[in-house]
Amino acid sequence: MATMISSSSTVNLPMTVKTNSFSTSPSSSINSKHILPSQLPCTPTNHGLSLRYDGNPLRCRHRRSPQSTNSANFQVLASATVEPLKIMISGAPASGKGTQCELIKEKYGLVHIAAGDLLRAEIAAGSENGKRAKEHMEKGQLVPDEIVVTMVKERLSQPDSQENGWLLDGYPRSLSQATALKKYGFQPDLFILLEVPEDTLVERVVGRRLDPVTGKIYHVKYSPPETDEIAARLTKRFDDTEEKVKLRLKTHHHNVEAVLSLYEDVTVKVNGSVNKEDVFAQIDVALTNLLEQRKSALGSLAA
Ligand code: AP5
């Protein structure tokens, strides 16, 4: 498996990183034998590239030294580390995506990006995009790509998402959105699909409440508020009615297969009908395994 190096971005070390040749070309690949961190050269190679292992287990990156302005002086620093996680979570309306994202974010520190939340923020801001989005959301339809695609792409591109890894919730929801993401270079390490029977979904939607102060998701029966003060300020989403969730479900069924087909090789299906802690336990296993695989790849690099 080869790793691509570009002159300005983080290097994604795969499970087994192999190298003995580097170049400054964005399209050059790493190949041949395993790197030993102690063997990573700190002086320019004959391709004008240098690498340095800094022992930081968080990432592998390389960059031009500030004084380097031409290829002769071009210097690249690299550290063999675990790349931040890139996770997508999908499922029918009220399958528990937002609830699981709260738990994943807490444990793994990923940046949670929810397409629905970004749209609701536009609505709250009274923007033109927000007004248009609401018309579609009221009908349980997907908001047009020209509003959603750029919005999500810009959020994914921000430094916190790039540094800490991202957790994309409810996006992509159509083949065109998935294709656009791929075109912009955003590919997930894992695609989590929450599976929940339909009658459970309706009950969850109707009983859902939100805390406008903390953003926390509650349910009148399954996840009641901790205090009377919180209970008094809880709100309900405008599309959380039995009638509207049926429309949202129809839209979901219409699109889900096309999206899944693009991420088949990284999809993990999770039983979302058990309590939220048990749902999280399944996700936690998948994420832990992924990180373990990456760490052992680095271990073999250092061996
Ligand atoms: P969005 O906000 O994404 O809504 P959704 O997909 O319908 O999902 P929900 O937010 O309703 O549910 P969830 O899966 O997060 O469940 P939650 O954790 O809250 O999208 C809204 C609209 O925006 C769309 O209809 C569309 O119009 C538009 N839109 C969004 N993304 C778009 C895109 N990519 N392109 C175009 N348009 C887009 O849980 C639900 C309830 O169940 C809560 O009360 C919770 O406490 C409870 N609960 C959760 N887990 C459990 C459990 N294990 N056991 C018991 N109760 C549980």
Say if residue 10's pLDDT is above 60: no
The pLDDT assigned to 80 comes to: 60
**Residue minimizing CA distance to atom 21 of ligand 1:** 116
Say if residue 89's pLDDT is above 80: yes
Q: Is the CB of 219 under 6 A from ligand 1?
A: yes
Q: Is the CB of 259 under 6 A from ligand 1?
A: no
pLDDT, mean over the chain: 79
Handedness of CA 4, 5, 8, 14 (dihedral sign): positive
Say if residue 123's pLDDT is above 60: yes
pTM for this entry: 0.77
Ligand 1 pocket mutation, candidates 150, 219, 255, criterion most atoms within 8 A of CB: 219
Say if residue 58's pLDDT is above 70: no
Cα 214 to middle of ligand 1, angstroms: 17
**Average pLDDT of the segment spanning 45-73:** 34
Q: Is the CB of 208 under 6 A from ligand 1?
A: yes
Ligand 1 pocket mutation, candidates 175, 222, 255, criterion most atoms within 8 A of CB: 222
**Residue minimizing CA distance to atom 12 of ligand 1:** 94
**Average pLDDT of the segment spanning 148-155:** 96
- The residues, any chain, with a CB within 8 Å of residue 183's CB and separated by 6 or more, are none
Between 76-90, 101-115, 172-186, the lowest mean confidence (pLDDT) is in 76-90
Active-site residue flag, 237: yes
The pLDDT assigned to 49 comes to: 28
The pLDDT assigned to 299 comes to: 79
Secondary structure element (H or E) that encloses residue 56, with its range: none
Kindly report, residue by residue over 196-218, the tens digit of the pLDDT. Answer: 999 999 999 999 999 999 999 99
Peptide bond into 172 cis (omega under 30): yes
Of the candidates 292, 241, 275, the residue with the CA atom closest to the CA atom of residue 139 = 241
Q: Is the CB of 143 under 6 A from ligand 1?
A: yes
Say if residue 87's pLDDT is above 60: yes
Give me the catalytic one of 86, 120, 155, 208.
208
**Average pLDDT of the segment spanning 57-67:** 36
Q: Is the CB of 218 under 6 A from ligand 1?
A: yes
Residue 208 CA: nearest ligand 1 atom is 44
Q: Is the CB of 294 under 6 A from ligand 1?
A: no
Active-site residue flag, 52: no
Q: How confident is the model at residue 35 (pLDDT cuts 50, 70, 90)?
A: very low
Between 32-36, 195-199, 276-280, the lowest mean confidence (pLDDT) is in 32-36
Dihedral pair phi/psi, residue 217, rounded to 5°: -95, 130
Say if residue 139's pLDDT is above 90: yes
Between 36-45, 88-97, 150-159, 245-254, the lowest mean confidence (pLDDT) is in 36-45
**Residue minimizing CA distance to atom 54 of ligand 1:** 275
Could you tell me where the DSSP H helices lie in the chain?
Answer: 97-108, 115-125, 128-138, 145-157, 159-164, 175-183, 198-207, 228-233, 242-263, 276-302
CA dihedral 102, 107, 109, 112 (to 10 degrees): -20
Residue 220 CA: nearest ligand 1 atom is 44
Active-site residue flag, 173: yes
Say if residue 68's pLDDT is above 90: no
